[in-house]
Amino acid sequence: MKITSVETFLVPPRWLFCRVATDEGIVGWGEPVVEGRADTVRAAVDELAELLVGQDPRRVEDLWQLMTKAAFYRGGPVLSSAVAGLDQALWDILGKTLDVPVHQLLGGAVRDEVRVYGWIGGDEPSAVAEAAAEQVESGLTAVKMNASGRVGRMPGRNEVDGVVARLAAVREVLGDSRDVAVDFHGRFGVAAARRVIPELAPLHPLFVEEPVLPEYTHRLGDIVAASNVPVACGERLYSRTDFLPALQAGIAVAQPDLSHAGGISEVRRIASLAETFDALLAPHCPLGPIALAASLQVAFATPNFLIQEQSIGIHYNTDAELLDYVLDRAPFGFPEGAIRRWEAPGLGVDIDEDAVRAADARGHRWRPPVWRHEDGSFAEW
């Protein structure tokens, strides 16, 4: 079996898909994307395709090594995301070739279902109690919300009170039997995070996510020590070596993104590394159906898994929804807050290729917002 072609598709709302074809007619799909930099990742995929065409796609690990190490400059979000999507497609091909789901190739299932959560409130959170009620009605038992909108590195008392009040409103809706996670999005400074997070502890968040920017990973230990609230991070970490200092700092939850952190091949290794620190895996995934399918395959086979993000109804999905490019939507259902284990071969998702090609003809130019404070200075998004 040989790889004959690699195609990419820019599909709304903000995703990039790739299609890897073989001379035996088996096709694999992946989702290589950096949100807001899809065209840049597309160029990287095209370059990596030169290494793949003519190779045996079943040699997944060898090709991962080739893609990540065949050049002097390595890593970073763009290259790691390009590798991630292609790696997903290679695992998809291998599973389809052997007629088994990818989780079987990762050692077999360790659970029958994967608990999932959904987003509420948007980038500048509002009406969070109403949104939480809607997600509960949809069947979810957990949600995630931003701690704040644009905020200074040292927020004032009223802004801190707002963070606590929004979480309290959501907790009242959810009760004690459901969970809420709080995403700081790296918008707070270290001192501010140390001040705010202990005030959230009585409301028992499942975890607080990315309390500070990844460039301040060396300060995570100070934040962990400031309260008993579990700290999570990882959406902007792209390898085992990126995760090591965060795990050494004491994070409780590792959040690699299957479309950013080198794909299935690297995330399964990150999960094993996290296990040695008694940390749990909660893959980041505000993306499309292929990224979610890859995440679920890892979750089905990972002992130290906690919960899975999924993007149905997320505020970014304005021009398309998670399942618009999927032929069979039933496997993605979560009537009791969890997705049941799939047994379909490969990644287990049937992509509507006609819909994907039509969407690519329209394309997208999604970009993150540029925020500024009232004084005109730049604000972290």
Here the CATH number for the domain that contains residue 11 is: 3.30.390.10
Pairing of strands 308-309, 179-183: unpaired
Tell me, what's the pLDDT at 149? 87
Looking at residue 353, what is its pLDDT?
98
- Is 373 part of the annotated catalytic residue set? no
Claim to verify: residue 111 and residue 234 sit in the same structural domain = yes
Q: Are 204 and 309 contained in the same domain? A: yes
Give the span between the Cα atoms of 264 and 305, in whole angstroms. 14
- Buried/exposed code over 207-224 (b: 16+ C-beta within 10 A; e: otherwise): bbbbbbbbeebebbbbbb
Let me know if residue 332 belongs to a domain.
yes
User: Of 78, 100, 122, which residue is a domain's last?
Assistant: 100
Q: Is residue 222 part of a domain?
A: yes
Identify the CATH number of the domain in which residue 175 sits. 3.20.20.120
Strand partners, 5: 21
Contact assessment for residue 122 and residue 146, using Cβ atoms and an 8 Å cutoff: yes
Contact 23, 353 (CB under 8 A): no
The whole-number pLDDT of residue 187 equals: 93
168 and 65, same structural domain? no
Domain assignment present for residue 110? The answer is: yes
What local confidence, expressed as pLDDT, does residue 210 receive? 97
Q: How many distinct structural domains can be found in the chain?
A: 2
60 shares its domain with 130: no
Residues 6+ apart with CB under 8 A from 286: 35, 119, 309, 311, 314, 316
CB distance 132 to 143 below 8 Å = yes
State the catalytic residue, choosing from 103, 185, 260, 364: 185
Q: Domain span at residue 28? A: 3-100
Q: Which of 284, 315, 364, 373 is catalytic?
A: 284
For residue 378, tell me if it sits in a domain. no
Q: Say if 243 falls within a structural domain.
A: yes
Find tokens 């301040």 and name the residue. Answer: 216
Looking up tokens 């972290």, which residue turns up?
380
CB-neighbour burial class of residue 340 (10 A; exposed 0-12, middle 13-18, buried 19+): middle
> Do 127 and 38 belong together in one domain?
no
Would you say residue 369 lies in a domain?
no
Of 100, 121, 146, the one marking the end of a domain is 100
Alpha-carbon span 210 to 235, nearest angstrom: 8
* pLDDT for position 373: 85
Q: Which of 35, 65, 100 corresponds to the end of one domain?
A: 100
* Same domain, residue pair 191 and 306: yes
pLDDT at residue 25, as a whole number: 98
pTM: 0.96
Same domain membership, residue 111 and residue 94: no
Instruction: Verify that 91 and 172 share a domain, yes or no.
Output: no
Can you tell me the distance from the alpha carbon of 367 to that of 271, in angstroms, rounded to the nearest whole number? 30
Q: Are residues 145 and 47 in the same domain?
A: no
Is 284 one of the annotated active-site residues of the chain? yes
| Per-residue pLDDT at 379 | 87
Give the closest residue to 130 by CA, choosing from 108, 145, 111.
145
Q: Is residue 153 part of a domain?
A: yes
Q: Which residues pair with 143 in a beta bridge?
A: 118, 180
Same-domain check for residues 88 and 121: no
C-alpha dihedral, 43 to 7 to 237 to 128, nearest 10°? 110
pLDDT of the chain, 381 residues: tens digit per residue: 999 999 999 999 999 999 999 999 999 999 999 999 999 999 999 999 999 999 999 999 999 999 999 999 999 999 999 999 999 999 999 999 999 999 999 999 999 999 999 999 877 777 899 999 999 999 999 999 999 988 888 889 999 999 999 999 999 999 999 999 999 999 999 999 999 999 999 999 999 999 999 999 999 999 999 999 999 999 999 999 999 999 999 999 999 999 999 999 999 999 999 999 999 999 999 999 999 999 999 999 999 999 999 998 788 888 888 899 999 999 999 989 999 999 999 999 999 999 999 999 999 998 988 989 888 998 888
Is position 360 within any domain?
no
Residues 34 and 108 in one domain: no
Quick one: 341 exposed, middle or buried, by C-beta within 10 A (0-12, 13-18, 19+)?
A: buried
Q: One-letter amino acid identity for 289? A: P
- Tell me: do 52 and 87 sit in the same domain: yes
